[in-house]
A = this chain, B = another copy of it.
Amino acid sequence: MKFTDKLLNISRKNKSWLCIGLDPDPELMPGVDVLQFNKAIIEATSDLVCAYKPNLAFYEALGTEGLAILEKTVKYIPGDIPVIGDAKCGDIGNTARAYARALFSVLGFDAATVNPYLGFDSIEPFINYQDKGVFILCRTSNRGATDFQDLHTNGLPLYEAVAQKAKEWNTYGNIGLVVGATYPEELKRVRSICPEMPLLIPGIGAQGGDLASAVGYGVDARGEKAIINVSRQILYASKEKDFAQAARNMAEKIRNQINSCLKAK
């Protein structure tokens, strides 16, 4: 099944555009094993999400065990929920092929994030997995996003040039874009350039982005395809034994807030 179909199916079933970022940080977690923590979060929230998104940095930082934990985490997620491997890959041809194989064939992700700086041949090996989703970084949620992404290139800021290219490259219909909720005007611009692509929108919660504008500007004409990612606010809602229930409560609250924003629109 195509990534976008899988995404739409579960989103409609769970009535949710919430994606949970599975980024286990031992400094913030309750004192449990990382795999047990992830399993508890997944069990507590799998009827409330449209996707999960593990960021590979947090697993690599765990040492040699990290990738095994990640692999088991991905396998534990119910098969109808897409899993986005957030590795922000960007490397030349033969290396990009190795990354695509690692993320899609070895780790089993349904989609991956990639960095556009190296251009088309660094992204092509990912796009060639036609059933997988490929989210290209466009306008990121951090402060430093302005350093290069806002530079004007032939009258357009670089992030808009990236959105334009992504549209050109979308032969198989499996490209999406990453746009931070912390920059609502830029999100609006990107949605107008790419009216049909799924957008992956981090920056809500710990990073301070506004949910109403993220939803309002992020969705397509049908009110869909805006994947709102939240990590820390849900994972660490409680550091006590009740962490899974607290995560569920927070996830439900945000899922419902997203739906209220959609109704208001």
Contact = CB atoms under 8 A, between A and B. Distances in A.
Contacts of A68: 64
Given A71-B64, A106-B61, A119 B93 contact: no
Nearest to A105: B61
A167 interface: no
Nearest to A72: B64
A171 to B, nearest CB: 16
A178 to B, nearest CB: 10
Copies in the complex: 2
A39 B119 CA distance: 34
A95 B106 CA distance: 23
A196 interface: no
Contact of A102 (B57, B88, B119): B57
Chain A contact-residue range equals 35 or more
Contact of A91 (B57, B91, B117, B120): B57
Interface of A: 23, 25, 55, 57-58, 60-64, 66-68, 71, 88-96, 98-99, 101-102, 106, 115-123, 137, 140-149, 151-154, 158, 161-162, 165, 202, 207
30 contacts: A55-B91, A55-B95, A55-B98, A57-B89, A57-B91, A57-B95, A58-B95, A60-B67, A60-B106, A61-B99, A66-B67, A67-B67, A88-B89, A88-B115, A90-B90, A92-B140, A93-B142, A116-B117, A117-B137, A117-B140, A118-B137, A118-B140, A118-B142, A118-B144, A121-B142, A121-B143, A122-B144, A148-B158, A151-B158, A151-B161
